[in-house]
Chain A
Amino acid sequence: EIVLTQSPSTLSLSPGERATLSCRASQSVDRYLAWYQQKPGQAPRLLIYDGTNRATGIPARFSGSGSGTDFTLTISSLEPEDFAVYYCQQRSIWPPLTFGGGTKVEIK
């Protein structure tokens, strides 16, 4: 089973700042990593798939990079609605599909 480790667990930033979130895989997942955003009481929403591709309707301030074992989600300038929990998920080797433990982006 591929283990995904996200860091940091919490990121405290102000609106307008840049957010950099990390996801590290226990073995290579090639480019097959997605990022999701989840707000309280809501289902997760797909932001990025296959490492770098923005999902439909996702603003350009969200970008994904990386391949192999190290991936990054960058939010170039935080908007108030971006404060949420972010998860990574791999589809390279499954079953099982696996998710990271999440990074909470909170208002400083």
Chain B
Amino acid sequence: EMQLLGSGGGLVLPGGSLRLSCAASGFTFANHAMNWVRQTPEKGLEWVAAIGDAGISTYYADSVKGRFTISRDNSRNTLYLQMSSLRPEDTAIYYCTKVLASSSWDQHFDFWGQGTLVTVSS
């Protein structure tokens, strides 16, 4: 059974840092590009970042570029999102997502993690 188990969320002060993790199982993690998508009631679903299957290519939304870093450890089947210089507008549920096709940048997401809540507030 496929699973994406997110962790690492919580309450952080503005300007602070947080690292999210997403542990994958039930599929060949190293064969799939992965993404982070966040959701708020105000802005809906917002794509945050993407990383290729080998971890070499990365892409970011303008809103997080220079502050967030996506990475992966294929030996541990784990995806990461390092978030720094956090702002109140980064408050959201963060989902890790799996790209449908292997060895591909066909960016439709056939599996989503359960979501982890990040709250940026003083």
Contact = CB atoms under 8 A, between A and B. Distances in A.
Interface stretch (A10-18, A71-79, A87-95): A87-95
A43 B108 contact: no
A44 B112 CA distance: 7
B110 A55 contact: yes
A43 B115 contact: yes
Interface residues of B, number: 22
B59 interface: yes
Interface residues of A, number: 22
B42 to A, nearest CB: 11
Interface in B40-70: 44-47, 50, 59-62
Contact of B109 (A46, A56, A96, A102): A46
Contacts of B106: 50, 91
Nearest to A50: B108
Nearest to B100: A49
A66 interface: no
Contacts of A50: 106, 108
Given A43-B95, A46-B100, A95 B50 contact: yes
A100 to B, nearest CB: 8
A68 interface: no
Contacts of B31: none
Nearest to A45: B112
A97 interface: yes
Interface string B89-117: 00000010000100000111111111100
Contacts of B46: 99
